[in-house]
Amino acid sequence: MKIFNDLCKFILATSSKYNIDESHDVSHSMNVLHFAHNIYEQEVYIDPGLIPHRNIVYYASTLHDMCDKKYMDEKQGLIEIENYLDEKITKEDSDAILSIISTMSYSKVKKDGFPDLGIYQKAYHVVREADLLTAYDFDRCIIYDLKVNKNSFETSFYHAEELFSRRVLQHGEDNLFTTEYAKNVYPLLHSQSIQRINNWRKMLL
């Protein structure tokens, strides 16, 4: 689809501008997009109301970290995303995308619960859960700590291990998944994460 040409250019430019490392840049956006597509493909048969929201899912899943407060002022990031979307899509769809990406983070959901986005609620969960599924990439968590916090590898490993224990490996118990695809896929990703952690721990001995 033509939208991906412009999306990639915008994400690359924004990542360069705000020094967004590879744990949240275009490669992460692509991974979230693929999970979002897979969830959409299954959920659309359950809820045909998703059909007109496909591009909202695609835009939101790729753009969601281009306003991440870890790298920039979130409000400024949202303004830049809104400006990017201007004249590309309708104002209604743009507002839906901004609502999704500004409320989908783990910390906001844990603090405030799920927002009520009306007809866009299913699209919201598709994008949010796609992002949660990518969070099971343990090495990505190490890379973030290495790049942003400038820690040693060993320190970054232990920081990542603590975060996984406290957050990522609790996703299922915290009932953060609502779609059938995510519910079916996350146990395998959970298991792979534990195996990865154990392998790193053996190599660091």
User: CA–CA distance from 104 to each of 26, 148, 153 (Å)?
Assistant: 18, 22, 30
Residue 116, classed as helix, strand or coil, is coil
Per-residue pLDDT of the chain (205 residues; tens, 9 = 90+): 678 889 999 999 999 999 999 999 999 999 999 999 999 999 999 999 999 999 999 999 999 999 999 999 999 999 999 999 998 999 999 999 999 999 999 999 999 999 999 999 999 999 999 999 999 999 999 999 999 999 999 999 999 999 999 999 999 999 999 999 999 999 999 999 999 999 999 999 8
The fold for domain 3-204 equals Hypothetical protein af1432 (1.10.3210)
HSE, CB side, 13 Å, CA atoms: give it for residue 45. Answer: 6
CA–CA separation, 93 and 80 (whole Å): 16
What pLDDT is stored for residue 1 in this prediction? 60
Give the chain's end-to-end CA distance (angstroms, integer).
47
Q: At what angle do helices 138-149 and 180-204 cross, to 10 degrees?
A: 60
Instruction: Please report, for the chain, the start and end positions of each structural domain, with discontinuous segments joined by +.
Output: 3-204
Q: Quickly count: other Cβ atoms within 10 Å of residue 180's Cβ.
A: 13
Q: DSSP secondary-structure letter at 49? A: G
What pLDDT is stored for residue 185 in this prediction? 98
Q: DSSP secondary-structure letter at 105? A: S
